[in-house]
Chain A
Amino acid sequence: MIKLNCWAALLGGAALANVASASIVEHIVRTQDAGVDVIAYPMGANDVITVRGSLPAGDSYAAAANIAAASITGFMLDKGTTRQNKFAIAKQLDDAGAQMAFNVGAQMVSVQARFLKKDLPLVVRLMAEELRTPAFSAEEFAKAKTQFEASVRENQQSTDQRADEALSRAIFPVGHPNRKHSAKEWLEAADKLTVEDLKAFHQKYYGPAYFTLVFVGDINASQIQQEVGKAFAGWAGGVGVVRTVSRDAVPAAHEEVVQVAGKESVSVSLGQSIGLRYQDPDTLALSVGTLILGSDFTSRLMSTVRNQEGLTYGIGAQILGDTFVDGSWAIEATFAPQLLDRGITSTQRELLKWWQGGVSAAELEARKTNVIGSYQVSLATTGGMASAILRTVNNGKPLTWLDEYRTAIQALTVDQVNTAIKKYLNPDHMVLIKAGSLASK
């Protein structure tokens, strides 16, 4: 067989030179059309256009007395408008094979669409109609409540979701956008909700003021501007994103068990709040350090807890919820009940080793190549590019960041990474959640 032992070093250098040369931002066209922040980026020639957009009307804007208002308002956007019912709208999209969906997150209502180039006017018109003039009919409202209840109850069966929910409630205070509501809270709120609540919520929060729409693919920027300008003309309102929140004292480290009956795998979350947002200077260093700990097969957690010890199918570490407000940091893994204790011990051992000893220069250099290469691959589809552009806007970064990101990664030093790890994380403050069918002790 052919022996090749030196290729990695040779080809690694070539890959870096290649990705460093292309500019994204010089091909971007950004305009304000009818008050909407419109960003267009031409890419490929395969007749497809992908849209990613968002505006601040997520769950954290719903009043404490009515926490389900944002989610159900978002859910009802495609359930008919004051001009036509949902079937008439769906027929137009389905006939064209176009896809459009709204989703409500903690801060933002996002819109995603994919369609053929010829259908741009149709999709933009229907998107505007659904965002601006939802019907909120009593009949659809009743159906939405049933769907909402089913969705909440289904989530209760997911050990991953339950662990995630419990960790957020343990580390974020009441009112923090990253704190998740319990099923009981959701269902009680939905039960009390009225159509008038939805109309009031929509009136107060939906508008173009902080609405960004990104179009990527086989596009004509001036046509997009024209269509958006026409479809959203006369729309007003909207609110800014919440970027500052009050902080409670960091909770003491503790352990919680969430019982979910009938499950063969246990989900584990181990983490803390970090008091960092994406745009803070130290976040990139912490982010790359976190990738070294828990991301792909070469990361420390995967190579030890999975590959060497065989204790889990999946384990990783990540920063969460740092787009607008202070985020959290967590390790997430799944274990068989009989391997749970060993799995947690190994995980905590690797965490401590990483936290105390930091990352090495060799690890950082390898990870930089990984991050830059992965970034290049992620931008090779219209969806990947559109998401990256919208994420840059929401992260509070200028669009030049799309090009500067690689340079910023390259510039990171071992000292910056290890300082950030020590500064923002402390294993002694982390909360451990186990969700699954666990025997009582």
Chain B
Amino acid sequence: MLKTSLVFNAVVALALMASVAQAAPDASTSVTVAGFSHIKSVGGIDEYRLDANGLTVLLKPDHSAPVVTFQVTYRVGSRNEVTGTTGATHILEHLMFKGSEHYSQAAGNGVDQYLGKMGAHFNATTWLDRTNYYATLGRDGLEGYIAIEADRMRNLWLHEADRQAEMTVVRNEYERFENDPGAALQAEVWATAFQAQPYHHNTLGWKSDIERVPIEKLRQFYDTFYWPDNAIVSLIGDVDPAKGLALVKHYYGAIPHSPRPIPEIYTEEPLQSGARRLTLKRAGELGAIEIAWKGPSGRDADLPALTVLGSILSVGDNSRLYRALVDKSLATSANANIEPDHDPGLFEATAGLAPGATHEQVEKAILAEIGKVQRDGVTGEEVKRAISQYRAQRAYGRDGTAGIAGELNEWIATGDWTLFVTQIDKIAHVTPADVQRVAQKYLNEDQSTTGWFVPTVEKRT
């Protein structure tokens, strides 16, 4: 079967090479391949659906280098976990490298062995709304990787012995995370800001869940979410569309769709009706502050204005928080932004305290800058600068197929991948009035959660 596929693919590739090579970067290169429905084309990316099982394929040819990035994004993240299984999505991500029916280290063809031999740059990540597996490798190695990804979608081993060995690995990842006071503070702020919605718990999970989640629960998790109709395949790079789709169909086509509907998360965070505060005390050198406000989802029409607000507050030496905090030696760093999430998330302002500065001083200075935006608005020049910065950032982020896949992955997680293309236009239309309006709407005290990291000199045992 493999030999037949390669011959077929080579013929298709030769036939299509000329037209693909001449296409403009953002032009659609959609093709007709039996078994696929073409859904839409946006910004040079074509979306297809594999008719047999509902697998979504996003395809963007890029022939600037002889490499390709293949990525599978599952619409499952820590938002899909409940008490007792927190961290399960992440542990499962680790166990996805332990072997599947046809590919394993024991057989000499495991995913690590194959991608290692290819010299691929590969990994997997888990976050609030999604889990992704990806590799960037020479184009000739693509087929072998697709075969492995397809196999582990439904044929994962999930052995108890592997869970036990991997549990301590994941726990050490958690311990390393806890070594960083800034990261630990952020986790506590989210846990305090969200009480019902599952963004409450960190993606790594609670330590006791990491240690004790039974393999049966992980199997249940896998059998609920790892199906083609809950996955998006992204294929970016030096591949011709017909060949790429043929490979996807060849390896994924026989997998059935989920026997049951993928469960939806229906829990919504109740309206917060007052400011929340927390203090994290640990050994350390310098303090830190985070103030977070309830924000909208990544698909919300207000997200572009909040993105511009974050930029005005903290991107570059002319940003307002840099001038108010870093330039005045109150802080060593200051940031403000909102990440696009599937569900309503947080707009976060953070600062690392400079030697001699107090938490009160820094918190007051941050709130004073927010207050100025709410009261007096921002200038057209500031908005224009933020738009330029966003536009340039997007161009930098798309330097290479891996960068494109990584950014696309985050927009897939919000529930609308086309924002990868269209968000830049939405940002470009933001006005100073929009920025002031969203600052007034979202950054109010009753919707805030403030965390202080206060360093202590005592040793923990």
Q: What residues of chain A have their CB less than 8 Å away from a CB belonging to chain B?
A: 1-8, 10-12, 14-15, 18-19, 22, 43-48, 50, 78, 86-87, 90-91, 93-99, 114-116, 142-143, 146-147, 149-151, 153-154, 156-159, 217, 259-265, 296-298, 303, 306-314, 334-336, 339, 366, 369-384, 437, 439
Task: Provide the bound-state CA to CA distance between A45 and B456, in Å.
Answer: 52
A18–B66 contact, CB under 8 A?
A: yes
Distance between A391 CB and nearest chain B CB, rounded to angstroms? 17
**Assuming A2-B254, A96-B392, A297-B116, is B164 touching A310 (CB within 8 A)?**
yes
Chain B residue nearest to A96 in the complex (CB): B388
Chain A residue nearest to B98 in the complex (CB): A307
Q: Which of A22, A97, A153, A264 contacts B388 (CB 8 A)?
A: A97
Q: A153-B285, A370-B116, A377-B138 are in contact. List 17 more A-B contacts (CB 8 A).
A: A2-B147, A2-B251, A11-B141, A15-B138, A90-B318, A114-B392, A146-B355, A153-B355, A262-B460, A265-B175, A296-B112, A313-B170, A370-B119, A372-B119, A376-B67, A380-B401, A380-B402
- Asked if B437 is at the interface of the complex by the 8 Å CB criterion, the answer is no
**Assuming A2-B1, A149-B355, A261-B283, is B168 touching A336 (CB within 8 A)?**
yes
A336–B172 contact, CB under 8 A?
A: yes
**Residues on A with beta carbons closer than 8 Å to the beta carbon of B108:** 8
Task: Provide the bound-state CA to CA distance between A326 and B18, in Å.
Answer: 51
- Asked if B398 is at the interface of the complex by the 8 Å CB criterion, the answer is yes
Task: Provide the bound-state CA to CA distance between A1 and B149, in Å.
Answer: 12
**Assuming A47-B395, A261-B459, is B355 touching A150 (CB within 8 A)?**
yes
Task: Provide the bound-state CA to CA distance between A86 and B392, in Å.
Answer: 21
**Assuming A5-B107, A90-B317, A336-B175, is B332 touching A154 (CB within 8 A)?**
yes
Chain B residue nearest to A310 in the complex (CB): B165
- Asked if B136 is at the interface of the complex by the 8 Å CB criterion, the answer is yes
**Assuming A312-B172, A380-B67, is B388 touching A46 (CB within 8 A)?**
no
A2–B250 contact, CB under 8 A?
A: yes
Task: Provide the bound-state CA to CA distance between A264 and B282, in Å.
Answer: 11
A156–B388 contact, CB under 8 A?
A: no
**Residues on A with beta carbons closer than 8 Å to the beta carbon of B403:** 381
**Residues on A with beta carbons closer than 8 Å to the beta carbon of B315:** 94
Task: Provide the bound-state CA to CA distance between A154 and B107, in Å.
Answer: 46
Residues of B14-70 at the interface with A, using a CB-CB cut-off of 8 Å, are 25, 64-67
B355–A334 contact, CB under 8 A?
A: no
- Among B154, B327, B393, max chain A CB count under 10 A is at B327
**Residues on A with beta carbons closer than 8 Å to the beta carbon of B385:** 91, 94-95
**Residues on B with beta carbons closer than 8 Å to the beta carbon of A143:** 327, 329
B181–A157 contact, CB under 8 A?
A: yes
Distance between B394 CB and nearest chain A CB, rounded to angstroms? 9
- Asked if B440 is at the interface of the complex by the 8 Å CB criterion, the answer is no
**Residues on A with beta carbons closer than 8 Å to the beta carbon of B169:** 306, 310-313
B140–A297 contact, CB under 8 A?
A: no
**Assuming A4-B1, A116-B392, A380-B67, is B165 touching A308 (CB within 8 A)?**
yes
- Asked if B316 is at the interface of the complex by the 8 Å CB criterion, the answer is yes
- Among A87, A261, A314, A437, max chain B CB count under 10 A is at A261
Top 8 nearest A-B pairs by Cβ distance?
A373-B119, A97-B392, A262-B283, A381-B400, A261-B283, A90-B317, A310-B165, A374-B119
Task: Provide the bound-state CA to CA distance between A383 and B102, in Å.
Answer: 37
- Among A1, A22, A298, max chain B CB count under 10 A is at A1
Distance between B313 CB and nearest chain A CB, rounded to angstroms? 13
Task: Provide the bound-state CA to CA distance between A149 and B332, in Å.
Answer: 10
B167–A310 contact, CB under 8 A?
A: yes
- Asked if B458 is at the interface of the complex by the 8 Å CB criterion, the answer is yes
- Among B105, B151, B179, B398, max chain A CB count under 10 A is at B179
**Assuming A4-B2, A306-B169, is B116 touching A366 (CB within 8 A)?**
yes
- Asked if B396 is at the interface of the complex by the 8 Å CB criterion, the answer is yes
**Residues on A with beta carbons closer than 8 Å to the beta carbon of B260:** none
Task: Provide the bound-state CA to CA distance between A339 and B169, in Å.
Answer: 11
Residues of B283-330 at the interface with A, using a CB-CB cut-off of 8 Å, are 283-286, 315-318, 323, 326-327, 329
**Residues on B with beta carbons closer than 8 Å to the beta carbon of A265:** 172, 175-176, 178-179
Task: Provide the bound-state CA to CA distance between A99 and B388, in Å.
Answer: 12
Chain B residue nearest to A335 in the complex (CB): B172
Task: Provide the bound-state CA to CA distance between A296 and B115, in Å.
Answer: 10
